[in-house]
């Protein structure tokens, strides 16, 4: 039987070949599947089996038994597995005494060493990934007393918000339920100094000593955002955290539906728990129009004894963002001495019907005292054809401001270049501005820089989901500062003054308008800011601006049968029917209501507006 054992020297070659396949198989698995926890443990299993296979020939040939070759082979197999396990359970690695060919021993032993080293590394990587959540939570315990920005979901929107928060003495914390963030997201979270750990009630227990907490519910499902909002409000009830703000992204639901919820959770004096509902598209447009003037290229024309400056705005492509631009331009343009001409180009033949469902009384504003604008809505436009230029020829050849947003980056740039060429052919090189919505600005590198240098690239996700944009930081800070100037005694408080989402956003719209009123007064009224409170025309146009703003929210004039005997309208009817009794000509308002349209621009308020 000794001949039997001697003839098994070929086992070394077979074991070497099998181990070599397993060794590279583990590496290939990582390259194909990525270095997640499951792949790491599978790859380390490949290396473990390879190590055991390499021990096997030595075990079956060591002190070979001539009486029981079958049992000896089985014993050698188990011993090889046990020896490999023992090595990682406290045993020491020793050079294997090979009973095979000495000339082959060096290469064989080298593969054994490499296999064991790789298994250690792979399993170590698995342990690190397994413990990274608890480790991140452990790090949080040392950083929880700082201001905490909490992101209960890790996606492109929340990462973009986190990356836009300036570095400082705060903690950025991302939560996940089951799967940890992808490797790319982890890298971006770490790059902005953030932490990530699994969610749960223990998080709020860990954060109970933090000074301030801001939570961003920006999942891709509005319903999930609202469910999570309710859960968090319950978990934070009675919290000792001094200041908690929760920002919740919603889509098209009316704000009034959430008023009861807000009143039950928002507390006074800007402290405690405050919930703000966010429509990212509206926020983007307001912040954009805070910097992008629709007034600067207006064309002056004589109307009788008055000079009227015509604003020509084109919105090419209609979607959620374009609709918010459409609405904002309508009410922002209500300025003394200015007239808006608005052209909307839409691929959808039924687009105008959809807009009318959003703004039922879009066509009711047609005279000074109510509102003034001229609009043309052209549906069924093929942007690849000559229809856009034909619409410009017919309705607005001398436009001064354009917003191009058809839903495709390359098509947007191409259309914007055509609109720019249209102006050049008319001999106009400078009297207009064109904004192009581009989700991925890197696409611009493929275009001739000299051709697109006058186009304003806007709309990147990093701009839309930007902390300052989402929180309306500039506009809100300015609005709150103006409120403190107007009400130095602190009554009403800011929270009471903005006691609903409609009121809060209405104040933002007014601040945006007054920012440009200051610019207009500097340019054409010699810096006499008192005109906004003393001159009737400024009161009239402020009412017109509010009139249009409220209509863009979907409100219509209340039918007289809905009014009480004294002409008032109860808030419940107003919210349910989306009606308002003040959507009338300025002259039809009571004297008290007319005076509400006068906001005196004191030096303090002007300084605030100029600082925004």
How confident is residue 124, by pLDDT bands cut at 50, 70 and 90?
low
pLDDT of residue 134: 59
pLDDT digits (tens, 9 = 90+) for 499-553: 788 888 999 999 999 999 999 999 988 888 988 888 899 999 999 999 999 999 9
Residues 54, 107 contacting (CB under 8 angstroms): no
pLDDT of residue 66: 46
Residues 541, 584 contacting (CB under 8 angstroms): no
Stronger pLDDT, 78 or 348, i.e. the higher one: 348
Helix ranges restricted to H, 333-386: 351-358
pLDDT digits (tens, 9 = 90+) for 418-460: 999 999 999 998 899 999 999 888 888 888 888 888 899 999 9
Task: Determine the average pLDDT of the residues in 378-394.
Answer: 96
Cα dihedral 67, 69, 75, 80 in deg (nearest 10): 130
pLDDT digits (tens, 9 = 90+) for 221-277: 888 999 999 888 888 877 788 888 999 998 877 777 777 777 777 654 345 788 889
Stronger pLDDT, 110 or 593, i.e. the higher one: 593
| Nearest residue to 4 (alpha-carbon basis) of 60, 58, 59 | 60
pLDDT at residue 3 greater than cutoff 50: no
Domain 144-278 matches domain 287-462 at the CATH topology level: yes
How confident is residue 362, by pLDDT bands cut at 50, 70 and 90?
very high
Task: Determine the average pLDDT of the residues in 358-373.
Answer: 89
pLDDT of residue 599: 82
- The structural domains of the chain, with segments of one domain joined by +, span 2-129, 144-278, 287-462, 476-611
Q: Is 195 left (phi over 0), alpha (psi -120 to 50) or beta?
A: beta
Stronger pLDDT, 76 or 122, i.e. the higher one: 122
Q: Is 311 left (phi over 0), alpha (psi -120 to 50) or beta?
A: beta
pLDDT digits (tens, 9 = 90+) for 219-235: 988 889 999 998 888 88
Report how far residue 360's alpha carbon sits from residue 378's, in angstroms, rounded to the nearest whole number.
Answer: 18
* Placement of tokens 């989306």 in the chain: 578
pLDDT of residue 289: 96
Give SS3 for 285.
Answer: helix
Which structure tokens are listed for 98? 């090979």
The CATH number of 144-278, from 3.90.245.10, 3.40.50.620, 3.40.50.2300, 3.40.50.720, is 3.40.50.720
The helix (run of H) or strand (run of E) holding residue 389 is helix 387-395
Percent of the chain exceeding pLDDT 90 equals: 40
Q: How many CB atoms lie within 10 A of CB 217?
A: 25
pLDDT digits (tens, 9 = 90+) for 462-488: 889 999 999 998 999 999 999 999 999
Task: Determine the average pLDDT of the residues in 53-74.
Answer: 59
How confident is residue 302, by pLDDT bands cut at 50, 70 and 90?
confident
339-377 burial: b if 16+ Cβ within 10 Å, else e? bbbbbbbbbeeebbeebeeebebbebbeeebbbbbebeb
Task: Determine the average pLDDT of the residues in 46-65.
Answer: 68
Q: Rounded to whole angstroms, what are the CA distances from 417 to 92, 368, 373?
A: 72, 36, 27
Task: Determine the average pLDDT of the residues in 181-185.
Answer: 83
The chain-wide mean pLDDT, for the chain, equals 83
Query: Which residues are bridge partners to 401 per DSSP?
Result: 313, 433
Q: Across 343-357, 494-508, 592-606, which has the greatest mean pLDDT?
A: 343-357
Which structure tokens are listed for 158? 């929340």
pLDDT of residue 346: 97
pLDDT of residue 444: 83
Task: Determine the average pLDDT of the residues in 371-386.
Answer: 95
Q: Across 75-79, 125-129, 172-176, 194-198, which has the greatest mean pLDDT?
A: 172-176
Which structure tokens are listed for 462? 């990093």
Give φ, ψ of 528 to 5 degrees: -90, 90
pLDDT of residue 268: 44
Report how far residue 314's alpha carbon sits from residue 417's, in angstroms, rounded to the nearest whole number.
Answer: 14
How confident is residue 13, by pLDDT bands cut at 50, 70 and 90?
confident
Percent of the chain exceeding pLDDT 70 equals: 84
**Helices and strands, counts by H and E, the chain:** 26, 15
Stronger pLDDT, 266 or 296, i.e. the higher one: 296
Which of 6-10, 355-359, 399-403, 527-531 comes out lowest in average pLDDT? 6-10
pLDDT of residue 357: 92
> Domain 287-462, what architecture?
3-Layer(aba) Sandwich (3.40)
């Amino acid at each position: 039987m000794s001949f039997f054992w001697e003839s098994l020297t070929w086992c070394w070659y077979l074991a070497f070949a099998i181990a070599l396949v397993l060794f590279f198989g583990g590496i290939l698995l990582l390259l194909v599947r990525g270095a997640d926890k499951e792949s790491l443990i599978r790859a380390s299993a490949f290396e473990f089996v390879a190590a055991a296979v390499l021990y096997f020939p030595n075990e079956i040939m060591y002190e070979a038994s001539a009486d029981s070759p079958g049992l000896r082979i089985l014993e050698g197999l188990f011993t090889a597995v046990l020896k490999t396990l023992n090595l990682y359970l406290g045993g020491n690695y020793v050079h294997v005494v090979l009973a095979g060919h000495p000339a082959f021993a060096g290469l064989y032993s080298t593969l054994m060493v490499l296999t064991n080293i790789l298994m250690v590394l792979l399993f170590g990587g698995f342990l690190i990934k397994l413990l990274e959540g608890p480790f991140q939570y452990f790090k949080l315990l040392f950083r929880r007393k700082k201001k905490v920005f909490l992101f209960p979901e890790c996606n492109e929107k929340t990462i973009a918000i986190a990356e836009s928060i300036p570095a400082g003495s705060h903690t950025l914390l991302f939560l996940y339920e089951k799967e940890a963030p992808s490797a790319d997201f982890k890298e971006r979270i770490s790059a902005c100094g953030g932490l990530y750990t699994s969610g749960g009630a223990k998080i709020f227990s860990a954060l109970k000593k933090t000074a301030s907490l801001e939570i961003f519910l920006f999942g891709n499902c509005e319903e999930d955002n609202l469910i999570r909002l309710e859960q968090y409000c319950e978990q934070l009830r009675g919290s000792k955290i001094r200041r908690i703000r929760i920002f919740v992204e919603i889509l098209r639901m009316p704000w009034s539906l959430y008023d009861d919820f807000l009143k039950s959770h928002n507390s006074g004096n800007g402290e405690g728990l405050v919930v703000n509902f966010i429509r990212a598209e509206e926020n983007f447009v307001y912040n954009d129009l805070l910097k992008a003037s629709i007034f600067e290229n207006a064309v002056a024309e004589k109307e009788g004894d008055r000079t009227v400056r015509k604003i020509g705005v084109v919105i090419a492509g209609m979607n959620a963002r374009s609709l918010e631009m459409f609405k904002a331009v309508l009410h922002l343009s209500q300025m003394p001495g200015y007239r808006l001409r608005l052209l909307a180009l839409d691929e959808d033949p039924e687009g105008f019907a959809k807009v009318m469902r959003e703004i039922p009384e879009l066509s009711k504003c047609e005279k000074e005292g109510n509102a003034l604008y001229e609009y043309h809505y052209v549906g069924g436009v093929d942007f690849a054809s000559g229809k856009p230029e034909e619409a410009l020829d017919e309705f607005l050849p001398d436009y001064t401001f354009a917003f191009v947003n058809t839903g495709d980056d390359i098509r947007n740039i191409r259309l914007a270049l055509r609109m720019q060429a249209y102006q050049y052919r008319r001999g106009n090189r400078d009297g207009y501005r064109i904004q192009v919505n581009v989700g991925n600005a890197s696409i611009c590198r493929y275009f001739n820089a000299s051709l697109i240098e006058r186009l304003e690239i806007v709309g990147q996700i990093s701009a839309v989901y930007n902390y300052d944009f989402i929180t309306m930081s500039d506009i809100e800070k300015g609005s709150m500062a103006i409120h403190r100037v107007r009400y130095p005694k602190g009554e009403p408080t800011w929270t009471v003054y903005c006691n609903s989402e409609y009121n809060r956003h209405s104040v933002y719209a007014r601040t945006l308008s007054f920012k440009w009123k200051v610019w207009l007064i500097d340019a054409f009224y010699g810096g006499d800011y008192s005109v906004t409170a003393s001159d009737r025309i400024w009161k009239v146009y402020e009412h017109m601006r509010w009139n249009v703003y409220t209509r863009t929210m979907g409100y219509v004039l209340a039918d007289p049968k809905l009014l009480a005997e004294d002409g008032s309208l109860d808030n419940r009817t107003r919210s349910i029917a989306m009606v308002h009794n003040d959507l009338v000509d300025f002259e039809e308002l009571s004297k008290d209501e007319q005076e509400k349209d006068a906001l005196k621009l004191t030096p303090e308020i002007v300084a605030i507006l100029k600082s925004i």
